[in-house]
Structure 1
Amino acid sequence: MDTTILLLLLQDGVVNGVIYALIALSLVLVFTVTRVILIPQGEFVAYGALTLASLEAGTLPGTVPLLLALGAAACVADLAESRHALSARSLLSIAARDLALPALVAGAAALLAPTKPGLGLAIGLTLAIVTPMGAYLHAVAFRPLEKAPVLVLLVAAVGVHLALTGLGLVFFGPEGSRTRPLSEAQLPAGPLVISGQSLWMIGLTLAISLGLWLFFGLTLLGKALRATAVNRLGARLMGIAPALAGRLSFTLAAFIGALSGILVAPLTTVYYDTGFLIGLKGFVAAIMGGLASYPGAAAAAIVVGLVESVSAFEASAYKEVIVFLAIIPVLLWRSARANPVEDEE
């Protein structure tokens, strides 16, 4: 391996790593707030990429009827949750959030999809379609289980993942899709050629990381999420609703997942089940970061990307195995340093 090849591998590793970093950040966010290991995060990635591809092809994405169905199901769940304290104001709020918003987005998609909207408008519409699904999934599948053990939440997450994967096959078929890059610029840098798409990926990842830091540090909602992550009971006693914190964390995770899909779709062909493998690698990075540290998860994601890139060159048939084996030394090290716990809190 000469220097040029090494630099190319490092470049590919960093580009892949920023995508894994976005996934890892969203997984840490959801787990610290709700104790849910969000296995369906990869489906948000696939849905984001394939929805954008459908809009570019001038067809109505299959995620639009799914959004309407999830909104209706969430409306039923919200009405059942607040049935003992239902008022005209809360009823109007639920109807606007769960019924009017999906209907508005679906109407815009039905109107604009046949016209093959420009890239910027298509990306905005894709985010509008996929992002609310996070809150609706939380209301339907996870909020009723918020007091359940972590193992039960994990089983529920696996069930949601399997359901979304099957629906992805129904909506988009087995064929993969790619989208136009955000930028077709090619910038020479010594022996390397850096694509504009790579710069967009790195820049947006840094922007999202900075936005999350400002959100958690400066806004009231961000501080509420931090309080819920530190002490759920204490946050509840201070008037922070766990349902609101969970809904917000799932919404942010769906937004980050959809954006990740939009960023990765120009670089590789995305299939209905592609997101699962991407999500697993983001999960590896989140575990390396302890499922609690945002900087640790982001740094570990870059390491995962570099390991994958070098493994693909040295032993391409075993690159996935090598990436997932890398988590074992980290788990052993954390296990050796952890204090023994007799019962789950």
Structure 2
Amino acid sequence: MDVQIALLLGQDGVTNGAIYALLALALVLVFAVTRVIFIPQGEFVAFGALTLASLQAGKLPGTVWLLLAMGMAIGLIEGATAVRARRFHRLPLIILVNCGAPLLLAASLLAVSPAGLPLPVQVLLTLMLVVPLGPMLYRLAYQPVAEASVLALLIVSVAVHVTLTGIGLLFFGAEGSRTPAFTDASFTVGDVVLQGQTLLVIVASTLLIVALYLFFERTLYGKALRATAMNRTGARLMGISGDLAGLLSFTLAGAIGAFSGVLISPITTIYYDSGFLIGLKGFVGAIIGGLASYPAAAAGAVLVGLLEAYSSFWASAFKEVIVFTLIIPVLLWRSLKTRHGEEA
């Protein structure tokens, strides 16, 4: 391996690591706030990429029907709860938010050919279709069992992952999709050619991480999430709703996943089940951070990206094994350093 190849591999590693870092941050956020190990995080990546590919192909993406179905289910649940509590004045808002908004979005996509829309509009539509699935998923699958043990929540996550993978196969088929590059620009630095698409991914990921930092440091809702992550009981006593914190954390996780899918859609071919492997690598980064530290999780995810890139050169057949083997010494070290106790 010469210096030029090493730099090219490093470029690929940092690019992939930036995506894994976003997913690791989302996993840490969701676990800290809700105690959920969010295995389906990768499905949002796949849904984001495949939805954008469908829009660019002029097709109506299957996520429209998933959004409608989940919205109607939540509308029925919330409507029945409002009727039992005799809060009839809430029914119009419940119907409008959970059923009216998805129907309006579906009608708009049916009326206008999405293939002819500008790229920023297509990306915005993709986010509008995929991001709401996060809070909807929390409301349907996790909120009813929010007080269950971590093991029970993990089992729910596995069930949700399997369900979403099957839905992805139904909606998008077994064929992979890849979108055209967002930019064809390239820059030469010494002997290394930097692709504009690579720089776009790194810059966009960095900007999103900075935006998340500002959200947690400067906004009321961000501080509420931090308080819930630090002490759920104390936050509840201070008037911070656990359900609202859960919905908000899943909304951010959905946004990060969908945005990551949009970013990587021109770089690699995405299949209906590609999200699991991508999310798992983000999970390795989150584990390095102990599912608690955002900077350590981001650094661990970049390390995973670099290890994957260089492993693909030296031992491409074993690159996945090498990446996931990294988790063993980390878990062993944390097991020896952590004081264990029974979960309440």
TM-score bracket, shorter-length normalisation = over 0.9
1:37 Cα deviation after fit: 0.7
Aligned to 1:221: 221
1:194 Cα deviation after fit: 0.9
1:77·1:139 contact (CA, 8 Å) conserved in 2? no
- In structure 1, what is the Cα distance between the partners aligned to 2:116 and 2:30? 34
Aligned to 1:118: 118
Q: Which moved more, 1:289-298 or 1:86-95?
A: 86-95
Q: Which moved more, 1:95-104 or 1:176-185?
A: 95-104
Aligned to 1:267: 267
Aligned length: 344
Aligned to 2:323: 323
1:67·1:129 contact (CA, 8 Å) conserved in 2? yes
- In structure 2, what is the Cα distance between the partners aligned to 1:304 and 1:80? 47
For 1:289-328, list aligned pairs within 5 A. 289-328=289-328
- In structure 2, what is the Cα distance between the partners aligned to 1:321 and 1:25? 23
- Map Cα deviations across residues 237-282 of structure 1 (whole Å, 9 max, x no partner): 1111111111111111111101111111101111000111000000
- In structure 2, what is the Cα distance between the partners aligned to 1:66 and 1:252? 19
1:115 Cα deviation after fit: 4.7
1:91 Cα deviation after fit: 2.8
- Once the two structures are aligned, what percentage of the paired residues are identical? 57
- In structure 2, what is the Cα distance between the partners aligned to 1:339 and 1:174? 45
If the length of structure 1 is used for normalisation, what is the TM-score?
A: 0.96
1:89 Cα deviation after fit: 4.5
For 1:80-159, list aligned pairs within 5 A. 80=80, 85=85, 87-159=87-159
Aligned to 2:64: 64
The Cα RMSD (Å) is 1.4
Aligned to 2:343: 344
Which 5+ residue runs of structure 2 have no aligned equivalent?
Answer: none
Kindly tell me: are residues 318 and 282 of structure 1, through their superposed partners in 2, closer, same or farther at Cα, counting changes over 3 Å? same
1:134·1:251 contact (CA, 8 Å) conserved in 2? yes
Which 5+ residue runs of structure 1 have no aligned equivalent?
Answer: none
Q: Which moved more, 1:188-197 or 1:121-130?
A: 188-197
Q: Please say if 1:252 is aligned against 2:252.
A: yes
Kindly tell me: are residues 32 and 113 of structure 1, through their superposed partners in 2, closer, same or farther at Cα, counting changes over 3 Å? farther
1:160 Cα deviation after fit: 0.6
1:82 Cα deviation after fit: 5.2
1:226 Cα deviation after fit: 0.9
Q: Please say if 1:45 is aligned against 2:45.
A: yes
Q: Please say if 1:280 is aligned against 2:280.
A: yes
1:193 Cα deviation after fit: 1.0
- In structure 2, what is the Cα distance between the partners aligned to 1:3 and 1:166? 44
Aligned to 2:197: 197
1:311·1:319 contact (CA, 8 Å) conserved in 2? yes
- In structure 1, what is the Cα distance between the partners aligned to 2:205 and 2:215? 15
- Map Cα deviations across residues 34-77 of structure 1 (whole Å, 9 max, x no partner): 11111111110000000000000001001101110011112233
- In structure 1, what is the Cα distance between the partners aligned to 2:31 and 2:94? 25
The runs of at least 4 consecutive aligned structure 1 residues that moved more than 6 Å come to none
1:159 Cα deviation after fit: 0.6
2:12·2:309 contact (CA, 8 Å) conserved in 1? yes
* Matched letter for residue 247 of structure 1: L
Q: Please say if 1:165 is aligned against 2:168.
A: no
1:41·1:253 contact (CA, 8 Å) conserved in 2? yes
